[in-house]
Amino acid sequence: MAVKTFVQALNDALRIALRDDPRVFLIGEDIGKYGGIYRVTKDLLDEFGAERVLDTPISEAAIAGACVGAALLGCRPVLDLGFVDFIGTCWDQIQNQAAKYRYLSGGQASIPMVVRMAYGAGLGYGVHHSQSLEAWFAHTPGLKVVVPSTPADAKGLLLAAIADDDPVVFLEHKMLYNLEGEVPDTKYQEPFRAQIRRPGSDVTIVAWGRAVHWALEAAGAAGQEGIDCQVVDLRTLIPLDEDTVVSAVAQTGRLVVCHEACLTGGFGGEVVARVAERCFDVLRAPPLRVAAPDIPVPSSIPLEKVYLGPQARLLDAIRRSVQATGRAVPA
């Protein structure tokens, strides 16, 4: 397998989808000659032409509406919306049309479209270009929500999303675009299921997207203190792989959920609720959440680092989870 960046893996997936399925087309602002904001669509215009890689005016509502119509007519559009923060400008098309059409038609029609968006903070982009809004999408019946954390998953999950017959929100963290990893050169699809990134017996950490890497870092630090952490990468919020999460927590009896989005209403609360409903009797300590504070993302880079800064808080949560059962940990 070749070592590729997250961006290159996404580009591979789009190239394969365009090559193998004439129903697939890409649409968005600056995705053609410019190659997209993060160069995910680089060189695809030259290879597949302007009828398959469509540059559009700056109107997210018009683009999303066009995708819904095209999907109803048998196409499989992949919409590059740029930043997740722009979703509000076309939310009606996504939430009230794409997500609901299978239900409204009694299962006679669906909207096989993918909405790709960059999310998350870390680059000092300020309040309008740095949010993590995955809980919005997860709260909308009919949408699937995919959040890869590695280049290999980025390729395999994107190919699976394009092949899916329902609308898929595909979230890519800005700070992962340059992440490198081994990626198969072949065409493959990753299932919409969680994956155990690290085995462990003391504490289960559940995370997705960039937070998976925070979880792995914290697990390594906790290991130096004799705490064996298991890390579960959800990969998809909807469908939620409840069985993998519950099974993992049953092994450790402790749960810490980490995500970048704000605490209140964050998807971490849903994970905790599902675990409490299904395996409350095996919990040895209260489930804990590590998330961003309930404030807008600061524009100042130093303040943004404080806003994020989950590593110390996550390690502290791991320690508290263990201490809740009377186990001593190093001070």
Q: Where are the domains of the chain?
A: 2-183, 195-323
The burial of 198, by beta-carbon neighbours within 10 Å (0-12 exposed, 13-18 middle, 19 or more buried), is given as middle
Asked: is 2-183 a CATH 3.20.20.140 domain? The reply is: no
Q: Give the pLDDT confidence score for residue 50 in this predicted structure.
A: 95
Q: Are 231 and 197 in contact (CB under 8 A)?
A: yes
pLDDT tens string, the chain, 331 residues long: the values are 899 999 999 999 999 999 999 999 999 999 999 999 999 999 999 999 999 999 999 999 999 999 999 999 999 999 999 999 999 999 999 999 999 999 999 999 999 999 999 999 988 888 899 899 999 999 999 999 999 999 999 999 999 999 999 999 999 999 999 999 999 999 999 999 999 999 999 999 999 999 999 999 999 999 999 999 999 999 999 999 999 999 999 999 999 999 999 999 999 999 999 999 999 999 999 999 999 999 999 999 999 988 887 888 999 999 999 997 777 666 5
pTM, whole model, 2 decimals?
0.95
Fold of 195-323: Rossmann fold (3.40.50)
Q: How far apart are CA 67 and CA 49, in angstroms?
A: 18
Residue with tokens 């609901």, as numbered in its chain: 100
Fold match, 2-183 / 195-323: yes
Neighbours of 19 (CB within 10 A): 13
Q: What is the DSSP letter of 210?
A: T
Neighbours of 173 (CB within 10 A): 25
Return the exposure string of 258-289: e unless at least 16 CB atoms fall within 10 Å of the residue's CB, then b: bbbbbeeebbbbbbbeebeebbeeebbbebbb
Catalytic choice (128, 129, 173, 259): 129
Q: Give the pLDDT confidence score for residue 126 in this predicted structure.
A: 85
**Cα dist from 35 to 54, 94, 158, 249, whole Å:** 11, 24, 18, 43
229-233: strand order across its sheet: 195-198, 229-233, 203-207, 255-262, 288-292
Q: Is 129 considered catalytic here?
A: yes
Q: Are 147 and 209 in contact (CB under 8 A)?
A: yes
pLDDT digits (tens, 9 = 90+) for 121-144: 988 888 899 899 999 999 999 999
pLDDT digits (tens, 9 = 90+) for 43-95: 999 999 999 999 999 999 999 999 999 999 999 999 999 999 999 999 999 99
Cβ-proximal residues to 69 (8 Å cutoff; 6+ apart), any chain: none
* Residue of 201, 230, 234 whose CA lies nearest to 216: 230
Amino acid letter, residue 227: I
Say what angle helices 6-20 and 151-163 make with each other, to 10 degrees.
30
Q: How far apart are CA 316 and CA 10, in angstroms?
A: 35
Q: Are 268 and 217 in contact (CB under 8 A)?
A: no
Q: What is the DSSP letter of 48?
A: H
Q: Give the pLDDT confidence score for residue 312 in this predicted structure.
A: 84
* Residue of 179, 175, 71 whose CA lies nearest to 115: 71
Cβ-proximal residues to 17 (8 Å cutoff; 6+ apart), any chain: 24, 76, 78, 158, 159, 162
Tokens of 202: 């003391």
